[in-house]
Amino acid sequence: MIGKVFTYFFALILAFSLSISSPDTFEEPINIPDIETIMINEREYYLISTETQLRMIDYYGLDRSYMQQNDIEISDVEWIPIGTSDNPFTGSYNGNGFKIVGLTDNTPSTTLFGSANSAKLYNITFSSDGIRNTNCEAKDFVCGSEENCQIFDIFFE
């Protein structure tokens, strides 16, 4: 009888301890902000209005169409380019004539998109504040590595 009670008690403690995360392994859930969409010519566009939404494109989907809705200022938090060589951006991004302010070329790998494949990146304007090399190809500042992409109407202001 005591053996059964001990076994039950031990199992209960073990189950309880497994249900509690240790502080070393606990991760905050990612808070993905809502994003509005609009249909234009039977295509759904995700409307980018904030820096947070711009940074979250990886989470919304790299194969979707995005349209910037206003000037967006990039904070001092390290910019992580959208898309990687293992998971490139394959959608479209229309800057819609608005500026991206504060993205700098402090490191050689600082581009808006890290890697894109068969993507359409266009109508994007960068504020030249903080950009030292405005003589570079504008498309090189938009995307670090691209394959079969349409990149056009890129401006420094």
Which amino acid type is present at position 101?
V
Phi, psi of 56 (to 5 degrees): -95, 5
Phi, psi of 113 (to 5 degrees): -110, 130
Residue spans per domain, the chain: 27-156
Tens-digit pLDDT profile for residues 71-121: 999 988 888 999 999 999 999 999 999 999 988 766 656 789 999 999 999
Tens-digit pLDDT profile for residues 3-23: 554 454 444 444 444 444 444
Phi, psi of 81 (to 5 degrees): -55, 150
Give the burial string for 110-134 (b: 16+ CB within 10 Å, else e). bbbbbbbbebbbbbbbbbeeebeee
